[in-house]
A and B are shown apart, each in its own frame.
Chain A
Amino acid sequence: MMSGSVVDNTVSSGNSSAAIPTDISGQILDLDEDDDLEVFSKDTTLTDGSSFNASMQTSPASMINQYKFEEDADTKDIFVTVDNPESHVTAIETYITYRVMTKTTRSEFDSSEFEVRRRYQDFLWLKGRLEEAHPTLIAHPLPEKFVVKGMVERFNEDFIETRRRALHRFLNKIAEHPIFSSSEDFKIFLTAASGELTSHKKQGPGFLSRMGDTVKAVAAAVRGVRNRPQEFTEMQEYVEAFSQKISSLDKVTQRIVREQKEYLEELKECGPTYALWSQSEEELAEPLKNVAGCVDRCCKETEEQVKNLSDHLIPVLHEYVLCADTLKAVLRRRDNIQADFEAKTEALATKKADRDTMRNDLDKAEDRLEWANNALKSDWTRWQKVMRTDLRSAFVDTAERNVSYYEKCLAVWESFLHSQRTDAEGNGKVDFS
């Protein structure tokens, strides 16, 4: 069933099966038209775009593999923003909606600009749909649901702002993902009016079918996977370690913020003490007041620096903590798919009745597995690049802000020195020549 091909991750051209998401075929067309992907626009010998009977040499997986990640702004053809939180009150509940604005030049969108309002539940739905369709692709995490932690209220301004930023990043990551961004659900999310969205939501696989999937998944999980390929085991080990490290970094950064805040509290008392002192002095009054001013200015800079850490570094680290969990889930799902295949293989070997149906099922399961593995492998590479970029720029940004903080404080104290020198020289007290 496996076809040899030029490219590694070719998926066999078996029967077009329901297990393979239809988005992908849509994707093939897109990629074909995209100038960026010269590599396979020459290779593609698609005759029938609607079915999955792609040529041997190309496959969605291989396309993912070769997809260029370092996109310039020029090639970005969809821009999404999340802003403007508003509170809605109904008889039953109060909730927040966010404005989601889309600007795009993609042809599959009816128009070039859209504006809709969405609530957190809608984002959850979208993520669920994407994961259902692509169980082994890596979706960026959503901000967490409201958890009663400390005194944070659901409608607290900071909480809403943090959530809004995270939702913005989520949608942008989806938009940047080669497969996810061409999802029909994604499109509907961005463009449909609220009523439309609600009815579309109801159209998904029914409750019973979803239950069935869950049961299968649980059963698969219980069975466990027997012959996990080495590379996925390595992936798992990496994810475990990564998860630990990124969690540690998150904690360390939060601790730094706490310590800085306490430092700030103490520092705030220094300036006023110098100012108080200056009131008892004559000659010393001016330098003391000056020092008080400098200390106060440094306090302001410190305050800003703390805010920067909280606003910029912590959210990114936190998201990658959640990413680690996503990765674990993805690996689990892949394992389940493999377990399912293994179970079916076993069943075929042992059972005598219904061989044709079972063979059919087995083929589908095999396809699904191969698809899942290839998708994961490609997306893994993509994810690693994105992670690297994100974390690198977050740390570089933090370092820059710290440098800027110290530079500002430096200027404050140098101006004090300068004032003392000109003062002293003016009074003829000191000869600095």
Chain B
Amino acid sequence: MEKKPPKKLQAKHKSPRSINFKVIKLCSNHSRNKLKPEALILAKSEEQLLSAYGKTNGCVLTRDAGLGIEYCDSLDQNLQMVEKGTSLLKKMEISVAEAEKRTGKNAVNMQETYTVYLIEMRPVDAASEGTNPVPDSLWRRYSEFELLRNYLLVTYPFLVVPPLPEKRAEFVWHKLSADNMDPDFVERRRVGLENFLLRVASHPDLSTDKIFYSFLTEENGWKETVFETGFQAKADSRLKALNATFRVKNPDKRFAEMKHYGDELQSVISQLLRVRARAADRLYGVYKVHGNYGRVFSEWSAIEKEMGDGLQSAGHHMDAYAASVDDILEEEEHYADQMKEYLFYADALRAVCRKHELTQYELEMAAQDLTSKKQQREELATGTIRTFSLKGVTSKLFGQETPEQREAKLKMLETQIEEGEELVKERNAECEEFVKSAWVDIERFKEQKDHDLREALISYAIMQISMCKKGIQVWNNAKECFSKM
């Protein structure tokens, strides 16, 4: 399977030495990628990177004068993530190296075909020493990734949990297949899964999770281990969460704003992806129609004497122009994938906000309950009935209760109030704790998002530039041929 070649590395680091070090680590990450020699052009300031990269990989990187700079954002992000230096990533290199089709019997004993992905873990030190030991590896399918993520969501509700690549291809422009078995889709998903693992591995909290670690290391029995944690029981029901959202009285303003932001982000990125897909479709049409020029010029050149050669060669350039759109749009898909990640991140962000609403609501409920119980105690103690209660009504109807009964009730209330106060204290602490840790992660997320999306926009500009350069080249060539007509 052809993998996307890593493209230009953006020079962000200070010392050349650390650049080389990081490059070496990541090189082996992508060592299976066949680099298309013509795919890279690097600025002069990165010559060092170029030679370091080339040496470790054993592949020859060459310059291509015409095509311009291409960016690899996953590589760049990977660099950034590695830079964060969680202890996990400091030790191990993680990658999703390959994808394979398998057939097997599913839960209802029916044949099904599915794809599995190879996860590889390679100790960092070994790679930097130049030795290349066989990595630990295991196969996982998408549903297992989903299980992992669900576990993380429930276990760390105060964290913005990185999203998985989409389950089904959406926002496709018509030439792109919406088929899950399509090799291009599988490839993009492979990249997305790797990205997910690296995001988790670079998160200060998530990277230390044991279930995550065993996901990476224990092929068999992992599922059972996950279920044994009983995380499913801890999951909040949708209904409960929805209820809280409607009824919460005093959510933290910042979280309310964040939720609103999450909504807007989701809406605008969806719109962007839709519009982009339609534009891509149309652009494809424009380029492909030029292929007809190629055909007609060629036919026409057959009947002309002096004009023949010029026409024929111009026709070839028109064919080249028509063909170039495939690469252009493939690159744009990569950009679309980056946008999609944040589309799904928006959802994760909103989930954290909803959880806050839930914890706040439960606190409010507990507090409200406590207040009402205290009130009841007061009423019982003073004998006044201020609030409506069934007790009040029945006692009016059937007569007051005996002092013993009242005593018993008071005692019960006292206990309940004690418990209630404990509960409120607990919930209050939970809430505060939640707000604190969630806000820290939200701030972390904001920084990450600003950085990543800005890089994405830059890479989009670079793609456009590359497309323009190709266009200039083709039409200059065509012009030369035409002038020989």
Contacts and interface: CB of A to CB of B under 8 A. Distances in A.
A263 B468 CA distance: 16
B289 A395 contact: no
Given A291-B457, A392-B485, A395-B485, A262 B285 contact: yes
A248 interface: yes
A280 B462 contact: no
B314 A403 contact: no
B11 A399 contact: no
Contacts of B465: 410, 413-414, 417
A209 interface: no
Contacts of B310: 392
Contact of B307 (A263, A273, A392, A400): A392
Nearest to A411: B468
B472 A274 contact: no
B242 interface: no
Contacts of A245: 296, 299-300, 303
Interface in B273-303: 275-276, 278-279, 281-283, 285-286, 289-290, 292-293, 296, 299-300, 302-303
Nearest to A260: B286
Interface stretch (A27-35, A217-225, A249-257): A249-257
Interface residues of A, number: 55
Of A246, A259, A287, A399, chain B has the most CB atoms within 10 Å of the CB of A399
Contact of B285 (A249, A263, A269, A291): A263
A273 B289 contact: no
Interface in B426-485: 449-450, 453-454, 457-458, 460-462, 464-465, 468-469, 471-472, 475-476, 478-479, 482-483, 485
A391 interface: yes
B205 to A, nearest CB: 24
Interface string B299-322: 110110011001000100000000
B286 A400 contact: no
Interface residues on B, range: 35 or more
Given A406-B468, A407-B472, A413-B462, 19 more contacts: A238-B303, A248-B296, A255-B289, A255-B292, A256-B290, A259-B286, A263-B286, A266-B278, A266-B279, A274-B272, A287-B454, A291-B460, A388-B307, A392-B310, A396-B482, A399-B482, A403-B471, A406-B471, A433-B11
Interface string A419-433: 010000000001111
B272 A270 contact: yes
Nearest to B303: A241
Closest 9 CB pairs of A and B: A399-B479, A263-B282, A410-B468, A406-B471, A266-B279, A245-B300, A392-B485, A395-B482, A283-B450
B387 interface: no
Contacts of A269: 275, 279
Interface of B: 11-14, 45, 261, 264-265, 268-269, 271-272, 275-276, 278-279, 281-283, 285-286, 289-290, 292-293, 296, 299-300, 302-303, 306-307, 310, 314, 449-450, 453-454, 457-458, 460-462, 464-465, 468-469, 471-472, 475-476, 478-479, 482-483, 485
Of B300, B314, B460, chain A has the most CB atoms within 10 Å of the CB of B300
Interface in A280-331: 280-281, 283-284, 287-288, 291, 294, 298
Interface of A: 238, 241-242, 245-246, 248-249, 252, 255-256, 259-260, 262-263, 265-267, 269-270, 273-274, 276-277, 280-281, 283-284, 287-288, 291, 294, 298, 388, 391-392, 395-396, 399-400, 402-403, 405-407, 409-410, 413-414, 416-417, 420, 430-433
A153 B483 CA distance: 38
B472 A406 contact: yes
A276 B268 CA distance: 7
A270 B11 contact: no
Contacts of B306: 388
B454 A284 contact: yes
B28 to A, nearest CB: 26
Contacts of B478: 395, 399
Of A249, A276, A403, chain B has the most CB atoms within 10 Å of the CB of A403
A284 B265 CA distance: 12
B299 A284 contact: no
A281 B290 CA distance: 40
Given A396-B483, A414-B465, A259 B285 contact: yes
Contacts of B454: 283-284, 287, 420
Contacts of B12: 430-431
A298 B285 CA distance: 18
Nearest to A415: B461
Given A262-B282, A391-B485, A392-B482, A277 B272 contact: yes
B181 to A, nearest CB: 29
A256 to B, nearest CB: 5
Nearest to A291: B457
Contacts of A413: 461-462, 464-465, 468
B296 A431 contact: no
